[in-house]
Amino acid sequence: MSWDFETDPEYQRKLDWVADFVRTEVEPLDLIGLNPYNRADPQVRALLRPLQERVKEQGLWACHLGPELGGPGYGQLKLALLNEMLGTSMWAPLVFGNQAPDSGNAEILAHFGTPEQKERYLGPLLAGEIGSCYVMTEPTGGSDPTSFQARAVRDGDSWVINGEKWFNTAAEHAAFHIVMVVTAPDAAPHERLSMFIVPAETPGLEIVKNFRVPGFSDHEAHLRFTDVRVPADHLLGAEGAGFLVAQTRLGGGRVHHAMRTVAMVRKAFDMMCERAVSRPMGRGVLGGKQMAQEAIADSWIEMEQFRLLVLRTAWRIDKEQNYRNVRKDIAAIKVAMPKVMHDVARRALHLHGALGVSDDLPFMDMLAYAEVMGLADGPTEVHKITLAKEVLKKYAPADPVYPSGYRPALREQARDLVARKLEHAVGNL
């Protein structure tokens, strides 16, 4: 039996290096007003490249990828422990080469890309030379892709795309987009959609506007496709296999969001505890008051429960090597994530008083981030349904009137069992 709550010493040393590196070298960059996704900005490149080289020297670049794609092949459990350090900074995932949406798009290209697609798009993406965008949600359809309206029609050696998509992260700075659109409107619901690579410079692709999402991103694009023509060889996977391709990135993406949320929750918790031991209150400090102690106790329990659920889910993914077999666990952490983030951030905010609601502290952004995590990669309500369905698969129906826990029937069974045992015991005297 193997059961361990400790990381191997060699990897723990790497994690210790990461914690110090992120705190001293990376987190300060969040405060200077530059967007790390804008690789065309010479200041961003000048700051990002040296940090990325140091990460590569440590063997920690693109840890979500296997050795065949230039990563160390650590698996999801080690990645979870690493992301606990990276989630406190917007720059950190880019410094370590595992930022969304590029990490998920790299997985799609690795699994479904042709050799030509990998050479043109995957190689530069993994090297951190370019960025990408994942384009799925529509103004009239988000959590239900079977309602999507954007379409691609085959025209000779090309596909022509028309429609609108929105809330597409970092589209403004992407070199290419991975786009899910309807290609067979009369097919079965889960066979209507296909996935395409659309280069950002393609005529007819327009950024209508960028939405600002507090606490998450200033660049959530509303995209319009007007007779956007892409070569037929830019289809990803088989025609009609859009759902299959999407699940390759969405399963991992949901887990990675949760991993980084652990870091955000811990940051809010640490700030709460620092405040509790620092702020004078009456004849002592704020942490000496029972209501503050309750907030700290509740937050610690919820934080540790969530962290262990995330780590167990990552362990199960490594064991199963199939996201579909871990749907229940992934849905569970997706449901738990926004609540624990909201609750801990709210308590931390309250312990900081008026300063807590100002932009000088991060708590309002954390509360907004919690709401984003309740919607990104599927809303909480949908994941609750998935979780319940997966749980109920393990149970068989019983009598609809008298359930299996009905005590009168259990007593009769117990009496029969005891009578047989006594009869056997007396017979052996």
pLDDT in tens, the chain (429 residues): 567 788 889 999 999 999 999 999 999 999 999 999 998 899 999 999 999 999 999 999 988 877 777 677 788 899 999 999 999 999 999 999 988 889 889 889 988 999 999 999 999 998 888 999 999 999 987 777 888 999 999 999 999 999 999 999 989 999 999 999 999 999 998 899 999 999 999 999 999 999 988 878 888 999 999 999 999 999 999 999 998 888 877 777 788 889 999 999 999 999 999 999 999 998 999 999 999 999 999 999 999 999 999 999 999 999 998 888 999 999 999 999 999 999 999 999 999 999 999 999 999 999 999 999 999 888 999 999 999 999 999 999 999 999 999 999 999 999 999 999 998 877 776
Whether residue 246 contacts residue 237, with contact meaning beta carbons closer than 8 Å, is answered with no
Rounded to whole angstroms, how far apart are CA atoms 310 and 81? 10
pLDDT at 429: 64
pLDDT at 301: 98
Rounded to whole angstroms, how far apart are CA atoms 88 and 27? 7
Look up residue 47 and give its amino acid. L
- Structure tokens belonging to residue 15: 């994690």
Rounded to whole angstroms, how far apart are CA atoms 151 and 128? 31
C-alpha separations of 171 from 207, 208, 256, 268 in Å: 8, 11, 20, 30
Rounded to whole angstroms, how far apart are CA atoms 9 and 24? 23
pLDDT at 385: 96
Whether residue 225 contacts residue 155, with contact meaning beta carbons closer than 8 Å, is answered with no
Q: Which helix (H) or strand (E) holds 46?
A: helix 42-57
DSSP-assigned letters across all residues of 317-371: HHHH--GGGGHHHHHHHHHHHHHHHHHHHHHHHHHTGGGGGSTTSSHHHHHHHHH
pLDDT at 1: 58
